[in-house]
């Protein structure tokens, strides 16, 4: 399964200025699937992307538990 990195997300946002909201909604649905996976490295990349979207002003309160889960991980 190919996952978008934070760099891919940023490049996608810049490339989709005309339909930014649609692109972000699509990215959020992908991120929601990624944080439900058991692979901790995939979850941490998803949390990175959530942090970036949060800095842009989007609400990410739904992912609070996932953030704590990744922070508590030994890896």
Q: How confident is the model at residue 44 (pLDDT cuts 50, 70, 90)?
A: very high
Conformational region of residue 71, where left means phi above 0, alpha means psi within -120 to 50, and beta covers everything else: alpha
User: Quick check: 1 pLDDT over 60?
Assistant: no
Tell me if the pTM is above 0.75: yes
Contact 52, 9 (CB under 8 A): yes
User: Quick check: 46 pLDDT over 70?
Assistant: yes
pLDDT of residue 50: 95
CA distance 41 to 46: 9
The predicted model gives 46-60 an average pLDDT of: 94
The predicted model gives 24-50 an average pLDDT of: 93
pLDDT of residue 2: 62
């Amino acid at each position: 399964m190919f996952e978008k990195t934070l760099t891919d997300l940023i490049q996608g946002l810049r490339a989709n200025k005309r339909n930014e909201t649609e692109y972000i909604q699509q990215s959020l649905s992908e991120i929601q699937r990624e944080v439900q996976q058991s692979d901790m490295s995939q979850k941490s990349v998803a949390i990175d992307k959530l942090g970036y979207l949060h800095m842009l002003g989007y609400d990410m309160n739904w992912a609070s538990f996932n953030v704590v889960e990744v922070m508590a991980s030994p890896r």
